[in-house]
Amino acid sequence: MYKKIFLTRIFLFCLCVVALLSSTAISAFASAHKGDVSLTLKVDRRLSAGSGKDIDGTYYISADSTFSQSYTVTNHASDGTLDIVLQERVLAESGAVITDWINLPASIQKDASVTLNGTNLVMTSAYGKKVTFQYRLRYKGTMGWQEYSSHTADIFVYSPTFNASYITDASPVALSDFPIYFGGKITLSSNAKVADVALYDSVHGLIESIGELTPGTTKRFQKDFYLPPGDVNSYLIVEYTDLLTGKKVRTELNDVHISGKIVAASVEPKLSLSALPAKTFIPSDETVEIIFEIKNDLSYDILSSYVYLLDENNRASAEPIFNFGPVARGQSLSVKKNVALQPNTQYSYAVYAYVPNTTVPFKAEYTFVTTSAPPSLTVTRSIEGDRLPFYQDTAINYTVKNISPKDVSDVVIVDGILGEIYQSNSIKAGNEVRFSATHKFTADFISNPIVTLTIQDAQQTKSTFMIERQTFEVMKKDQPSIMLLLENILAKDRKNVIFDVILANDGNTSFQKIDIVDVRNNTVVHTLSSLNVGEVQSIYITNQNYENDKTIQLQAKATTADGEELIFDMEPVKLPTSFLITFLIVFISLIAIVLAAVVYYKKRSKHTKIE
DSSP secondary structure letters along 240-275: EE-TTT--EEEEEEEEEEEEEEEEPPEE-TTEEEEE
* C-alpha distance from residue 513 to each of 493, 534, 557 (Å): 31, 16, 8
DSSP secondary structure letters along 323-360: E---B-TT-EEEEEEEEEE-TT-EEEEEEEEE-TT-SS
Residue 449: CB atoms within 10 Å: 22
Q: What does the pLDDT look like over 557-576, one tens digit per residue?
A: 999 999 999 999 999 999 98
Q: Of 341, 331, 339, 415, nearest to 377 (Cα)?
A: 415
Task: Give yes or no for residue 511 having a pLDDT over 70.
Answer: yes
Instruction: Return the exposure string of 60-90: e unless at least 16 CB atoms fall within 10 Å of the residue's CB, then b.
Output: bbbeebebbbebebebeebeeebebbbbbbb
Query: In a 3-state reduction of DSSP, which class is residue 389?
Result: coil
Q: Of 198, 243, 191, nearest to 214 (Cα)?
A: 191
Give percent of the chain with pLDDT exceeding 90: 69
> Of 300-309, 530-539, 577-586, where does mean pLDDT reach its minimum?
577-586
Q: What does the pLDDT look like over 204-236, one tens digit per residue?
A: 999 999 999 999 999 999 999 999 999 999 999
Q: Under 8 Å CB-to-CB from 43, ≥6 apart: which residues?
A: 69, 70, 71, 72, 135, 151, 153
Does domain 36-157 fall under CATH 2.30.40.10? My reply is: no
Q: 183, 160 in Cβ contact below 8 A? A: no
Centroid of chain to Cα 96? 55
What value, to the nearest 5°, has the Cα angle with vertex 312 and ends 307 and 316? Answer: 30
Task: Give yes or no for residue 584 having a pLDDT over 80.
Answer: no
> Of 54-58, 220-224, 325-329, where does mean pLDDT reach its minimum?
54-58
Query: In a 3-state reduction of DSSP, which class is residue 193?
Result: coil
The CA distance from 276 to 206, in Å, is 40
Does domain 377-472 fall under CATH 1.20.1250.20? My reply is: no
Give residue 12's pLDDT. Answer: 46
Q: 79, 30 in Cβ contact below 8 A? A: no
The CA distance from 30 to 37, in Å, is 12
Q: What does the pLDDT look like over 173-187, one tens digit per residue?
A: 999 999 999 999 999
Task: Give yes or no for residue 461 having a pLDDT over 80.
Answer: yes
What value, to the nearest 5°, has the Cα angle with vertex 383 and ends 381 and 389? Answer: 135
94-95-99-100 Cα dihedral, nearest 10 degrees? -160
Task: Give yes or no for residue 471 having a pLDDT over 60.
Answer: yes
Mean pLDDT, rounded, of the chain = 88
Q: What does the pLDDT look like over 69-115, one tens digit per residue?
A: 999 999 987 677 889 999 999 999 889 999 999 999 999 988 899 99
pLDDT band at 292 (very low <50, low <70, confident <90, very high): very high
Query: In a 3-state reduction of DSSP, which class is residue 397?
Result: strand
Continuous segment of H or E residues that includes residue 369: strand 362-369
Continuous segment of H or E residues that includes residue 33: helix 2-35
The CA distance from 211 to 384, in Å, is 72
pLDDT band at 57 (very low <50, low <70, confident <90, very high): confident
The three-state (H, E, C) secondary structure of 55-94, written as one string: ECCEEEECCCCEEEEEEEEEECCCCCEEEEEEEEEEEECC
The CA distance from 447 to 279, in Å, is 11
pLDDT band at 359 (very low <50, low <70, confident <90, very high): confident
Fold of 483-574: Immunoglobulin-like (2.60.40)
Give the gyration radius of the chain's Cα atoms: 50
Continuous segment of H or E residues that includes residue 607: helix 579-610
Q: Tell me the CATH class for 266-369.
A: mainly beta
The CA distance from 341 to 282, in Å, is 8
Q: 406, 436 in Cβ contact below 8 A? A: no
> Is pLDDT larger for residue 22 or for residue 545?
545
pLDDT band at 455 (very low <50, low <70, confident <90, very high): very high
Give residue 602's pLDDT. Answer: 65
We find that the CATH architecture of domain 162-263 is Sandwich (2.60)
The order of strands in the sheet holding 408-414 is 420-427, 408-414, 450-455, 462-466
Give residue 259's pLDDT. Answer: 96
- Residue 405: what residue type? P
> Is pLDDT larger for residue 146 or for residue 191?
146
> Of 37-41, 548-552, 596-600, where does mean pLDDT reach its minimum?
596-600
The CA distance from 36 to 78, in Å, is 6
The CA distance from 534 to 391, in Å, is 9
Give residue 20's pLDDT. Answer: 35
Give residue 34's pLDDT. Answer: 55
* C-alpha distance from residue 570 to each of 213, 231, 419, 441, 484 (Å): 80, 59, 31, 20, 6
Give residue 456's pLDDT. Answer: 95
Q: 546, 494 in Cβ contact below 8 A? A: yes
Q: 53, 60 in Cβ contact below 8 A? A: yes
Residue 99: CB atoms within 10 Å: 15
